[in-house]
Amino acid sequence: MPKSVLIVGCGVFGLSTALELLEQGYTVTAIDRYKPPSPWSAACDYNKIIRAEYTDLKYSRLAIEAMQGWRHHPLFKPVYNECGRLMITPSYHTGRQKFEALGIRNLHFLGEGKKIEYFHGGFDVASHFKHFRENHIQSNENSKFNPESGLGHAGDSLKVLYERCKELGCEFVFGEDGEAKELKIVEGRTCVVTKSGLVFKADQVLVAMGANSGKLVDLNHQQSATGLFVTHIKLTPEEHEFYKDLPILFDAEMGYFFPPDPRTRILKVALPGSGASNNVINPHDTSDILSLPRFHNLNPTDTMPKSFVKKAKLLLAKYVPNLSYHELFDSKVCWIADTQDSDFIIDKVPGFNGLYVATGDSGHAYKFLPIIGKYIVQRLDGSLSREWSKAWRWKNVSGEFDPTQCEWRVVDDFPDLSSIDWALENSKSKL
Ligand SMILES: Cc1cc2nc3c(=O)[nH]c(=O)nc-3n(C[C@H](O)[C@H](O)[C@H](O)COP(=O)(O)OP(=O)(O)OC[C@H]3O[C@@H](n4cnc5c(N)ncnc54)[C@H](O)[C@@H]3O)c2cc1C
């Protein structure tokens, strides 16, 4: 058993792994540019969806296992809210329809999803949910409600995990001392050099820098950074009282929104069908391009495309018209690491001694926070099952892949950041 592990990146994969390693008695150092929740983490957010519908049975199983953690683990239970999720999918989008139907079939196969309800048209939805009583859902639009889904208070969950790891003796390093810049081989061992020039070494090094992992490790086009846009509105105390028990409303075409955050009354709106790339010169091959994140905290005018302001308003106007008058604020682009098959990459890096990656989240890894570390440690100690080793292996991708071709994504536009006409925000942050 190696004595020491260095984790680079304290997001979902990094912190979950740190906890598992510490509980197993390893010595762990974890570095990041920022203290959790880092503004560079895809999970630095009010909330994320926790659901178990997957088209791939092994991920359904994994999500069901993770949900046990959300419901019962003392660390995660306080940062979980099983508010349910209402899903509406355009009938013309057969790919997404199939994706959702198969997800539910898999749940049933595993003995779950028994409480899912189906609604037909807007009246049916209005009669079940007071929050949507003014909705403009068409009479031919069908929807389904799974009460056994919920949300994780995303930023808060990273915080509690970080505090627990600190209690268990993890050495954390942040700032320029923790910002990984390059890999260096010293006496045959893989070391990480940070922006301030510090050199970190350990028996094993795990790079878990999310969409930014490709900056440090040449991932051979296995992943591509995709920017997703979120925006917010702030409810009045009266509106909060009325909408506080809202289920997550997930419209596969128009976007989705969450119940208001209980502390701030802020309601997050996500525009998921679309995304964006940020194509830059590949740091590992200057004749090549690669999409890497351009982080909002360093580029505050990266809000959302002007055209998305209307999209966000239309989403609210369709389901909760009484809230659509609100000003949108704190709009930002957040980065996920797409892979061709939406499988994560959890494997040893070929050609390096003791170097591993846990990345390629493909926009669906947050829900696994309570358990993914167990599987990553299994990869580090060589005990990961054959099934997961195969799914999460280092793959040879020929050429570039196109994230818009993922079957589950309802795409209308996928611009590069360089061509976006950004929405101007004229009010100060309400966060
Ligand atoms: C808008 C949006 C909505 C989403 N919704 C959901 C959802 O509903 N359900 C769900 O399950 N998932 C969702 N996700 C995906 C989920 O957030 C990600 O899958 C998850 O956060 C990925 O975890 P990670 O550890 O790979 O990366 P991250 O959480 O992004 O963490 C990466 C860490 O690496 C650090 N880092 C980066 N560069 C460096 C460097 N050079 N040196 C040191 N540290 C560095 C960062 O600071 C960060 O802390 C969503 C993502 C987005 C963007």
Helix/strand/coil for 1: coil
| 120 alpha carbon – ligand 1 mean position (Å) | 36
Q: Scan for tokens 């909760």, then name that residue.
A: 320
Phi, psi of 176 (to 5 degrees): -65, -25
Pocket test for ligand 1, best of 209, 356, 392 (most atoms within 8 A of CB): 209
212 lines ligand 1 (CB under 6 A): yes
pLDDT of residue 407: 63
pLDDT of residue 428: 55
Pocket test for ligand 1, best of 12, 59, 308, 409 (most atoms within 8 A of CB): 12
The domains located in the chain, with CATH, are 1-47+153-222+341-399 (3.50.50.60)
Phi, psi of 313 (to 5 degrees): -65, -40
361 lines ligand 1 (CB under 6 A): yes
The answer to whether 350 and 369 have CB atoms below 8 angstroms apart is no
pLDDT tens per residue, range 21-49: 999 999 999 999 999 999 999 999 999 99
Ligand 1 atom 16 nearest Cα: 366
Beta bridge partners of 371: none
Pocket test for ligand 1, best of 161, 366, 376, 409 (most atoms within 8 A of CB): 366
CA 13, CA 209: separation in Å to the nearest integer? Answer: 9
Q: Which amino acid is at 44?
A: C
| 52 alpha carbon – ligand 1 mean position (Å) | 19
355 lines ligand 1 (CB under 6 A): no
pLDDT tens per residue, range 387-431: 999 999 999 887 777 777 766 666 667 899 999 999 998 655 554
| 27 alpha carbon – ligand 1 mean position (Å) | 24
Q: Which amino acid is at 332?
A: K
The answer to whether 243 and 267 have CB atoms below 8 angstroms apart is yes
359 lines ligand 1 (CB under 6 A): yes
37 lines ligand 1 (CB under 6 A): no
Two tokens at 249? 């409303």
Q: Which amino acid is at 72?
A: H
Q: Tell me, what DSSP letter sits at residue 277?
A: B
- Strand pairing category for 150-152 and 80-81: antiparallel
pLDDT of residue 237: 98
Q: Tell me, what DSSP letter sits at residue 56?
A: S
Residues making up the chain, counted from first to last: 431
Other beta carbons within 10 angstroms of residue 112's beta carbon come to 20
Other beta carbons within 10 angstroms of residue 91's beta carbon come to 11
CA 164, CA 161: separation in Å to the nearest integer? Answer: 5
Distances 341 to 196, 281, 396 between C-alpha atoms, Å: 36, 24, 12
48 lines ligand 1 (CB under 6 A): yes
CA 29, CA 331: separation in Å to the nearest integer? Answer: 34
pLDDT of residue 427: 56
pLDDT tens per residue, range 139-190: 888 999 999 999 999 999 999 999 999 999 999 999 999 999 999 999 999 9
pLDDT of residue 91: 79
| 12 alpha carbon – ligand 1 mean position (Å) | 6
363 lines ligand 1 (CB under 6 A): yes
CA 170, CA 26: separation in Å to the nearest integer? Answer: 9
53 lines ligand 1 (CB under 6 A): no
pLDDT of residue 396: 87
Atom of ligand 1 nearest to the CA of 158: 29
DSSP for 107-168, written as a single string: HHHTT--TT-EEEEHHHHHHHH-GGGTT----TT-EEEEETT-EEE-HHHHHHHHHHHHHHT
Could you say which residues of the chain have pLDDT below 70?
1-2, 272-274, 406-412, 426-431
